[in-house]
Structure 1
Amino acid sequence: MTGELPAREGFFERVYEVVEQIPRGMVASYGQVAKLVGEPRKARYVGFALHANPRPGEIPCHRVVFADGRLASGFVFGGPGAQRELLEGEGVAFVDDDRVDMAACRWPAGVE
């Protein structure tokens, strides 16, 4: 069990480094972040890392959404309403009540 903790911490820190690079007004998907940290099959773990965000306000976890643009229903820093408010405040466009316009606002890093 002790061998897992350093690996987890290293993964979480890589996630935070990538998420800190997402520009204002743009979003990335969990899978996109996973790919950028070199673990393309660990999108769910990206969510775990963001849920444990040690520096809210500094690490903009609100800029990470599902691949189809849906907001995180379990957004830990105030729910999906707070996430939407933060994104709208940065100029992120929405296609409906629950989904970001990924075509207009997706951060292009790592997207093929």
Structure 2
Amino acid sequence: MQPFTEEVIEVIREIPRGSVCSYGGVAALAGNPRAARQVVRVLHTYSEQEKLPWWRIVNSRGMIALKPGFGYEEQRERLEAEGIVFSNDRIDLRRFGWEPDDL
């Protein structure tokens, strides 16, 4: 496993219940702010194997990137179960966005 992939996995594991982070935010915290698409690849490849809380990753506008019928409903249900509130299909990243305390 590549070092960046390992970092992405660690960042995703740290996102607490009731919080979200964007793909770009995860990439930046993992050391490469321009690698949001790589975060998508890591999620696709390792979510199940590493038991990652994949549902806590949203796009930079605070929206679920998955399409209805392809995971959108499950992701929204999981987020709402953690107390995340949606307004017009968006999550307020100022309220629910996560950044580690040690930045």
TM range (shorter): 0.7 to 0.9
Q: Is the 8 A contact 2:47 2:54 kept in 1?
A: no
Alignment RMSD, CA only?
2.3
Pick the structure with more strand per residue. Answer: 2
Q: What are the ranges of 5 or more consecutive residues in structure 2 without an aligned counterpart?
A: none
- What is the TM-score with the length of structure 2 in the denominator? 0.85
Using the aligned pairs only, state the percent identity: 42
Gaps of 5+ in 1: 1-5
- Letter aligned with residue 93 of structure 1: V
The reply to whether residue 82 of structure 1 matches residue 74 of structure 2 is: yes
Q: How many residues align?
A: 101
The TM-score, its normalising length taken from structure 1, stands at 0.79
Moved over 4 A (4+): none
Alignment of 1:7-18 (within 5 A): 9-18=2-11
2:67 & 2:87 partners in 1: Cα distance? Answer: 20
Shift of 1:86: 0.4
Superposed, 1:1-112 pairs within 5 Å as 6=1, 9-55=2-48, 58-73=51-66, 79-96=71-88, 98-109=89-100
- Give distance in 2, aligned partners of 1:57 and 1:92: 23
- Letter of the 2:78 partner, please give it: L
